[in-house]
């Protein structure tokens, strides 16, 4: 059974957002000429023209307005986007199926004591700043699970982000409905055979950097990068959500399943 459409009636107010590429800008001009354009704050829906990275930027921009995002692939991979076609856009929007995403919230503390906070629809990851590996203590729900991980870094991904950096680091792909967060090391040295964990989405993860004077580390939440961190906590923020729209039979859950059988 298909998920109901986001729109009780055909959307009329569309905000078109384009990545800074020629094909995205040209596609935007063509669509505006046919359907008009309006500001995000008064739009029924945002149409994103670009790649997966630009779609993530748009999700951060629209979350305050509570409107869904429909992506058209004007980039390379386009895992989170729909294909560009000459089919009537209003009809596609009306039939589109929604997928709701809850972001991760990162709270990072720098060596100078400064607190930083950001959200991530893809992932939060820590990564070494120098040639030396970092040493990280991992706590889950206030219980130490790994006293010391020596590695290049570590990733906490959302289900939607499990097919991105997490997959490249050999982490598991997670279906949207699984309520799980992959915890994946990047080039683990000790314990050498530790391949990560699957955590419940309700879990609170705490990373403490060991020997941070000698082994500096950065923390990243989507587009926010914090250098020289000493501690980072990661939690799923259920108070926030973003809605991405997909053409019928090509929803995000189906794409995540299909990706696991791709060559």
Number of neighbouring beta carbons within 10 Å of residue 115: 10
Residue 247 has pLDDT above 60, yes or no: yes
pLDDT digits (tens, 9 = 90+) for 67-113: 999 999 998 777 788 998 878 999 999 999 998 999 999 999 999 99
Q: Which of the pair, 22 or 2, is modelled with greater confidence? A: 22
* Domain-embedded: residue 44: yes
Mean pLDDT on 243-261 = 79
Residue 257 has pLDDT above 80, yes or no: no
Mean pLDDT on 114-118 = 98
- Pair 229, 120 in one domain: yes
Q: Rounded distance, CA 209 to CA 139, Å?
A: 12
What is the CATH classification number for the domain harbouring 130? 2.60.200.30
| Reported confidence tier of residue 10, pLDDT bands at 50, 70, 90 | confident
pLDDT digits (tens, 9 = 90+) for 43-61: 999 999 999 889 999 999 9
In this predicted structure, what is the pLDDT of residue 187? 95
| Reported confidence tier of residue 1, pLDDT bands at 50, 70, 90 | very low
* Domain-embedded: residue 3: no
Q: Specify binding-site residues.
A: 52-53, 122-123, 152, 160, 163-168
* Domain-embedded: residue 250: yes
Domain count, the chain: 2
- Pair 26, 131 in one domain: no
* Domain-embedded: residue 112: yes
| Reported confidence tier of residue 207, pLDDT bands at 50, 70, 90 | very high
- Pair 231, 252 in one domain: no
- Pair 116, 136 in one domain: yes
Q: Rounded distance, CA 69 to CA 58, Å?
A: 8
Burial degree of 203 (CB within 10 A; 0-12, 13-18, 19+): middle
What is the CATH classification number for the domain harbouring 59? 3.40.50.10330
- Pair 20, 79 in one domain: yes
Q: Specify binding-site residues for NAD(+).
A: 52-53, 122-123, 152, 160, 163-168
* Domain-embedded: residue 54: yes
- Pair 146, 126 in one domain: yes
- Pair 116, 66 in one domain: no
- The DSSP-derived string for the chain is -PPPPS-SS----EEEEE-SSHHHHHHHHHHHHHH----GGG-SEEEEEE-HHHHHHHHHHHTTTT--EEEEE-SS--TTSBPP-SS-HHHHHHH-EEEEE--EEEEEEETTS-EEEEEESSEEEEEESSSSPEEEEEEETTEEEEEEEEESEEEEE-TGGGGTHHHHTTPPP--GGG-EEEEEEES--BSTT---EEEETT--EEEEEESTTTS-EEEEETTEEE-SEEEEEEEE-TT--EEEEE-TT--HHHHHHHHTT--
- Pair 109, 130 in one domain: yes
Range of lowest pLDDT (68-72, 156-160, 200-204, 259-263): 259-263
Average pLDDT score, the chain: 92
- Pair 157, 85 in one domain: no
- Pair 83, 144 in one domain: no
- Pair 221, 126 in one domain: yes
Residue positions annotated with a catalytic role = 52
* Domain-embedded: residue 64: yes
* Domain-embedded: residue 74: yes
Token pair listed for 213: 């004077």
Residue 256 has pLDDT above 80, yes or no: no
In this predicted structure, what is the pLDDT of residue 185? 97
Q: Which of 186, 118, 125 is nearest to 155 (CA)?
A: 125
Range of the domain at 67: 14-102+241-259
- Pair 208, 254 in one domain: no
Q: Which of the pair, 165 or 1, is modelled with greater confidence? A: 165
* Domain-embedded: residue 184: yes
In this predicted structure, what is the pLDDT of residue 30? 95
Q: Which of the pair, 238 or 7, is modelled with greater confidence? A: 238
């Amino acid at each position: 059974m298909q998920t109901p459409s986001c729109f009780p009636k055909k959307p009329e107010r569309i905000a078109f957002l384009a990545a800074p590429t020629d094909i995205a800008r040209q596609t935007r001009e063509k669509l505006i000429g046919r359907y008009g354009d309006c500001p995000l704050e008064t739009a029924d829906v945002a149409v994103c023209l670009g790649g997966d990275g630009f779609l993530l930027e748009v999700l951060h921009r629209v979350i305050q307005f509570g409107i869904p995002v429909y992506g058209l692939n004007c980039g390379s991979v386009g895992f989170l986007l729909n294909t560009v076609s000459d089919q009537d856009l209003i009809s596609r929007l009306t039939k589109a199926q929604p997928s709701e995403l809850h972001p991760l919230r990162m709270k990072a503390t720098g060596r100078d004591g400064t607190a930083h906070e950001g959200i991530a629809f893809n992932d939060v990851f820590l990564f070494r700043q120098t040639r030396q590996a970092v040493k990280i203590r991992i706590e889950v729900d206030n219980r130490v699970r790994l006293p010391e991980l020596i590695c290049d870094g570590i990733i906490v991904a959302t289900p939607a982000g499990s097919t991105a950096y997490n997959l490249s680091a050999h982490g598991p792909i997670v279906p949207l409905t699984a309520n799980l967060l992959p915890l994946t090391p990047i080039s683990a040295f000790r314990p050498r055979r530790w391949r990560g964990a699957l955590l419940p989405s309700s879990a609170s993860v705490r990373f403490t950097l060991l020997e941070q004077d000698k082994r500096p580390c950065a923390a990243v939440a989507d587009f926010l990068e914090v250098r020289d961190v000493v501690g980072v906590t990661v939690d799923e923020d259920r108070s926030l959500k973003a809605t991405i729209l997909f053409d019928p039979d090509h929803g995000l859950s189906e794409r995540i399943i299909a990706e696991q059988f791709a060559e």
